[in-house]
Amino acid sequence: MCRFAFKLLIRMKAKPLHLAKLTIFILISTALFSCKKDYFDNINRVEASGEWGIPLINTNVYVKDLISFFTGQEAEDGGNGLLKFSLVMDSTQLIKPIDLLKISDKTYYNSFSFPSADSSSIPYTNEFQMTFYSNLLDQDEFVIEEGIVKNGTFDFTITTNIDQPDYTIMIESPNLFDAQNRPFQIVFTPSTLSQRVDVSGCKFIFGPSDQSNTITFITTVRFDIVFVSPNPTYYINTDIVLNNLSFKSLTGKMPPKSYPIRFENPISIFSGNLTGNFTLLQPKYSIKIGNSIQANSTFISDSVGFLGENTFSPILPSGTEIYCAASPGNGQVEITVNEGYTNDLHFSENLKGFLLVGEAIINPQGLAAGSITIDEQSELFVTSKVEVFFESKFDHISYQDTMDFALGDVDFTSVIEEATFRLGLTNGIPLAGNVQIYFYDTVTHSTIDTLFINPRLFNAATVGPAPYYKVIAPAKSSPQFITFEETRFKKLKDAHKMIIKYKFNSDDPNKIIRLYDDQKLDIRLGVKVKYNTNSLEL
Amino acid sequence: MKMKYIINIAVAITFLLLIGNKLSAQDSRVLYFMKNNPYSTFANPAQNINCKLYVGIPFSSNINLSIFNSAIHYNKLIKVTASGKTVTVDNFIETLKRRNWLNLSFNIELLGFGYRVDDLFINVSHKIRLEGYFLYPDVLFKLPIKGNMAYLEKPAEFKHLSLNGTLYHELSLGFQYSINENLLIGVRPKLLMGLANVNTKKSYLKFTTDPETYDIAIQEKLLVNTSLIFNPENPNALDITSNLFKNNGFAIDLGASYDFNEYFGTSFSIVDLGFISWKTNTQNMASKVENRGIYYQNGGFLFSGINVENALNLMSNEDDFGGTLSNMQDTLLAYFPLYQTNKPYMTATYAKLLLSGYYNINKNNSLSLLFRGDIVSKTMLPSFTFAYSGSFFNFLDVYATYSIIGKTYANVGIGLGLRAGPIHMYLLTDNIIAAFAPLNSATMNVQMGMLVHITKNKNKKDSSDNKKKSKVDKKKTNKDNNELILETSNQ
């Protein structure tokens, strides 16, 4: 081909047509040789690299949520956005009216006799008293004036030697009335000397008497003397058995009745994992007494406050008296006593619970108060409420926990050169935060790595002056960068435990801060991933 | 003598067949300089051609196929190493320009002829034309590959991403007239009948990343229209035939050429200036960021991370991460709704501006310089061509060109015209290098054709040819002058 071309070139000057032929020939040859059919065979690698940044999380955490998370308690609005939480501690029901209204079972005996032949003494009458007994009546010296029976029975059994053919023995009481307000009356005949009387729904009216809580039964014997009895005297023996007598209500008079009160509520703000030290300023307390006894009552405090390991922080001075008037009718009276603000409340991991010790006195004025009524609905309760406003001198709250950690079969892909997480925080809470996560090897007992270079994640927001101490400028922290690359990832595979530690603290434990419901922590988390496929074989 | 012509033709045809399958073609710039080829009037209707009469061989008179690929080249994408081949994506991205083109053009004349009456030259042509332009910014590839971290100082913006293409047939009637010995003007009105179209009316996307928080802000606007003469979901022949003439349009070619003297001259033309009105099976797809919730801000989409509370609302259940992800995806996509309507619309045809100047070395050789600007969707693709034109032995026209097209510089063109009696064959390409390295060439085109071409009588002097050299003696008679001659005269 080359020799042919050379010969043609020599002839070019004289024969231009040959020049055209040569040109075409060269073009065809070159075109044929330029064919390549394997342009895309055997591709085994791709060279590509880049970096993508993506925002992951943009969220707010309000201080209210943090309080709930840490303490397990829900914070409330204490007015103008200032947060508070309330500790409400109920006493048990102090008085159980059912016990008070029950009368002890008892058998009563009455016996009398009269001449059998003296017709002038017929009808013969006899009075005997029946006195009721119970704790209320005996120990508490309750003098019944009136009582409505809920349930109960009297079993009457009469034995007599009257041998006249027809006689009646009637027992009646001026103190006992049936539901229709008819006086009690029961008649015995020779064939009905034993009878049971159900006094449910009956009313006892106890009249003035030398003996309190006593009713009178009058026995009247009637018969016609048909023959002279060989018995010179007739006797009447009456046994009355009182069973299950219980009142629906009792009205009467009573001297003051004292009930000791003691209850203790554990407080579990701090646990084994959570510790801290802060003082909440001047918590507000209130004592609520609920009284549905139709009698005045008084609560006298002995010890009311917070219990520590070996300490006690009172919120109510010992000997404080709180008076609650009688409830009208069947209603209930509640008295909430806001005694104002008490001493600063120091919270630490030593805080164990709330203690209330004192006594409740029913009818403190005693007999001079007049008649009181106790019924089935009567109850007396004492509730303590402590409102703790988040105005404090704050030192710190710390949390530490250990969790299992295992990357297992997860591998760091060779395509990703590096992944960097960016954590940006803007803090509108007047507390600074330190967080660290330690990756721990339990075999070598050593810390392999920590998540953050600097555990100080955010500073406290700037607080304004008294009296509101509102946040005037949030603190925007420098972002934290957490970078993972293959080397670091491989190291973490040796970790078995993850120890989480965080701490919130104020800049100055003696400085007052307030937590408001609009304070929040803005969290912005993004990730930047750098990739490179050069090491990847297809 | 006759044998020589046969051998020449055979060699030319062989060349055409072998080279043609290696090259693909567009509206060749070389055609502009072919003053012995009546088809040069399609580049400038005022082109001063030596033609008395021509008839194009049906379906073979003017075939034009072209691909312009400014960026996606083999040697930029693939690297051959000892162990195999590597796809060099990074390298490819570095070589991308701010605007990159991938264009396709195909024209075929079904029927064409022209004739001259004194100073007036008239020609008729019926063609099918396909023109497609894909303009894409470097950001299209750079953003997904290099990532948004490469666009921190300046946002990633897709201002010039567009796909435009039209398939239509064109019926034209061209007029060329000599005003005087120096000035020629030409006009070619054209009736257009659209067959298919895709038109990017609006295309804008701005992707901004905050350097500190990586917040992503997206603004976008998109409006793409399409039209077909058949319903793609239910195509049928009846539909096609009834819609063949419904998308009507009009275009015009205008041109002028002026000879300063026998050595210097200039010409100007604007071709394919027109429009088509699309009515059949139209679809208009529009998209714009809409307010669908918390991720809408300042008229755009702003994603700054998941709000934990909202994420909990999206969770279908705790174990179904895929479901949650799907819900999140649906939530985000809702901000970019796509609306579809079926309204008619209008598109402009892809006009071209051509401006040239020439210098005649002698009667057979000349040098020329051409500027051409292709106008697509408010963007111009410019090119400059330097050309040599030569005519040899009364039958061979040779053209050599060098073009800078867009920002591609390796475009060496050649053109050959063979005039064997009344048979005229031609083959042109703007880039012969593409024949040998097709995957690395920006411009690949070929234009070829065959026609019956009868030139003007060389002894007959008329105002369009010889007035600048000498005055014609109208009284001079020569019986040969009244006869059509078979031998062509040179320029």
pLDDT in tens, B380-402: 888 999 999 999 888 899 999 99
Calculate mean pLDDT across residues A286-298. 77
Show Cβ contacts of residue A199 under 8 Å, excluding neighbours closer than 6 positions.
A149, A152, A153, A154, A176, A184, A245
Binned at pLDDT 50, 70 and 90, residue A309 comes out as: confident
DSSP string, B314-367: H-S-TT-HHHHHHHHHHHHHTTS-EEEE---EEEE---EEEEEEEEESSSSEEE
| Residue from the list B19, B303, B392 with its beta carbon closest to the beta carbon of A31 | B19
Check residue B208 and give its pLDDT: 95
Q: What value does the mean pLDDT take over residues A79-88?
A: 82
Asked if B87's CB is within 8 angstroms of A43's CB, the reply is: yes
Contact: B11, A32; criterion CB under 8 Å: no
**Closest chain A C-alpha to B216 CA, distance in angstroms:** 7
Percent of chain A with pLDDT over 70: 84
How far is A530 from A53, CA to CA, in rounded Å?
A: 9
**B288 and B221 in contact (C-beta within 8 Å)?**
yes
User: Is B11 in the A-facing interface, judged by CB distances under 8 Å?
Assistant: yes
Given the structure tokens 């200036």, which residue do they identify? B273
- Tell me how far apart the alpha carbons of residues B481 and A61 are, in angstroms, rounded to a whole number: 101
The answer to whether A51 contacts B215, with C-beta atoms less than 8 Å apart, is: no
Residues of A in contact with B11 (CB under 8 A): 20-21, 24
Q: By the 8 A CB rule, do B114 and B51 touch?
A: yes
Reported as a pLDDT band with limits 50, 70 and 90, residue A446 is very high
Query: Least CA distance to A31: which residue of chain B?
Result: B436
Question: Tell me: the pLDDT tens digits for A373-382?
Answer: 888 877 777 7
Which secondary-structure segment (H or E) carries A315?
A: strand A312-316
Residues of chain B found within 8 Å of residue A524, distances taken between Cβ atoms: 213, 304-305
Mean per-residue pLDDT of chain A: 81
Provide the token pair at B374: 């292709």
Q: What is the mean pLDDT of residues A252-267?
A: 82
Vertex B135: Cα angle to B344 and B282 (nearest 5): 15
Higher pLDDT, A246 or B4: A246
Report the residue from A30, A42, A52 with minimal CB separation from B148: A52
Question: What's the pLDDT at A272?
Answer: 67
What is the rounded distance in angstroms from the CA atom of residue A461 to the CA atom of residue A428?
A: 5
A 10 A CB-CB count for A489 gives: 16
Identify the H or E element spanning B279.
none
Average pLDDT rounded to a whole number, residues A295-302: 84
Task: Calculate ∠ Cα B253-B257-B263, nearest 5°.
Answer: 155
Measured between beta carbons, which residues in chain B are less than 8 angstroms from residue A41? 85
Q: Is the CB of A526 less than 8 angstroms away from the CB of B214?
A: yes
Q: Taking CB atoms and an 8 Å cutoff, what residues of chain A touch B149?
A: 50-53, 528
Chain B from 196 to 255: CB within 8 A of any A CB: 209, 212-216
Question: How long a stretch of residues is chain A?
Answer: 538
d(CA A135, CA A127): 27
Give the number of other CB atoms < 10 A from CB of residue B362: 10
Mutation site for A-interface testing, chosen from B16, B73, B90 by largest number of A Cβ within 10 Å:
B90
Q: Which of A341, A351, A392 is nearest to A510 (CA)?
A: A392
Please give the full DSSP string across A116-174, using - where no structure is assigned: SS-GGGPSEEEEEEEE---HHHHTS--EEEEEEEEEEEEEEEEEE---SSSEEEEEEEE
Judged by DSSP in three states, A368 sits in: helix
Q: What is the pLDDT of residues B424-459, one digit of tens each?
A: 999 999 999 888 888 888 889 999 999 998 887 654
For A34, which of B89, B212, B436 is closest by C-beta distance? Answer: B436
3-class SS at B460? coil
A499 or A277: which carries more pLDDT confidence? A499
Could you say which DSSP state residue A71 is in?
A: H
Q: In chain B, which residue's Cα lies nearest the Cα of A53?
A: B214
Distance from the Cα of residue B43 to its chain's centroid: 12
| Nearest C-alpha neighbor of A320 from the set A263, A368, A382 | A382
Q: Tell me the C-alpha distance between A163 and A235, whole Å.
A: 11
Nearest CA distance, A36 vs chain B (angstrom): 9
Separation of alpha carbons B406 and B103, rounded Å: 12
Q: In terms of DSSP H, where are the helices of A165-242? A: none
Q: What is the pLDDT of residues A91-109, one digit of tens each?
A: 555 666 667 788 889 999 9
Q: Which two tokens stand for residue B185?
A: 């003007």
Q: Which two tokens stand for residue A395?
A: 């030192």
Residue A159 Cα to chain centre, angstroms: 63
State the pLDDT at residue A262: 82
Instruction: Output the six-digit token pair for A515.
Output: 């937590």
Determine the average pLDDT of the residues in A39-63: 89
d(CA A452, CA B64): 67
Q: Residue A397: its pLDDT value, please?
A: 84
**Residue B165 near residue B197 (C-beta atoms within 8 A):** yes
User: CB A43 to CB B148 under 8 A?
Assistant: no
Assess whether the previous peptide bond of A123 is cis (omega < 30° from 0): yes
- pLDDT score at B16: 40
Interface test with A, best of B19, B74, B214 (most A CBs within 10 A): B214
Helices then strands, counting H and E runs in chain A, come out as 6, 36
* pLDDT given at position B488: 39
Contact A491, A448 (CB under 8 A): yes
Residue A536 DSSP label: -
Model pLDDT, residue A340: 52
- How would residue A118 be classed by pLDDT, with cut points 50, 70 and 90? confident
Residue B453, φ and ψ in degrees, nearest 5: -135, 120
What per-residue confidence (pLDDT) applies to A92? 54
Among candidate residues B431, B424, B358, the one with its CA nearest the CA of residue B38: B424
Q: How far is CA B240 from CA B132, B169, B231, B244, B281, in A?
A: 22, 14, 9, 6, 11
H or E stretch covering B7: helix B2-20
Looking at the complex, report in whole angstroms how far the Cα of residue B265 sits from the nearest Cα belonging to chain A: 30
DSSP A486: H
> In the predicted model, what is the mean pLDDT of residues A195-213?
84
- Its sign, for the CA torsion B330, B331, B336, B338, is positive
Question: Does A59 sit within 8 Å of B309, measured CB to CB?
Answer: yes
Using omega within 30 degrees of 0 as the cis cutoff, is the peptide bond preceding A174 cis? no
B381 by DSSP, 3-state: which? Answer: strand
What's phi and psi for B422, nearest 5 deg? -80, -10
Q: pLDDT at position B318, please?
A: 54
Structure tokens at A479: 């972002």
**Cα separation, B183 vs B467, whole angstroms:** 11
Question: Under 8 Å CB-to-CB from B87, ≥6 apart: which residues?
Answer: A43, A45, A46, A47, A48, B77, B78
Of B150, B303, B435, the CB nearest to A55: B303
Task: Enter the tokens of residue B461.
Answer: 């002097």
Contact A505, A442 (CB under 8 A): no
Nearest to A389 by CA among A347, A361, A439: A347
For residues B48 and B33, give the distance between their C-alpha atoms in angstroms, rounded to a whole number.
Answer: 10
Which of B85, B301, B303, B325 to probe by mutation at the A interface, max A CB count within 10 Å?
A: B85
Residues of A in contact with B14 (CB under 8 A): 24, 28
What 3-state DSSP class applies to B395?
Answer: coil
Supply A393's token pair. 């001198």
Euclidean distance between the first and the last CA atom of chain A, given in angstroms as a whole number: 43
Could you tell me the mean pLDDT of each successive run of 10 residues in chain B, 491 residues long?
A: 43 40 52 90 91 93 92 91 89 91 93 93 95 92 94 89 92 94 95 94 93 93 90 75 87 95 93 94 91 87 83 56 72 88 92 94 92 85 92 90 87 91 91 88 91 74 45 44 41 34
Residue pair A519/A62 in contact (Cβ under 8 Å)? The answer is: yes
Span between the terminal Cα atoms of chain B, in Å: 23
Are B393 and A40 inside 8 Å of each other by CB? Answer: no
For residues A399-419, give the mean pLDDT.
81
The dihedral region occupied by B50, where left means phi > 0, alpha psi between -120 and 50, and beta the remainder, is: beta
Chain B residues closer than 8 Å to A54 by CB: 214, 216
The DSSP bridge pattern shows strands A43-47 and B84-88 to be: parallel
**pTM of the full predicted structure?**
0.68
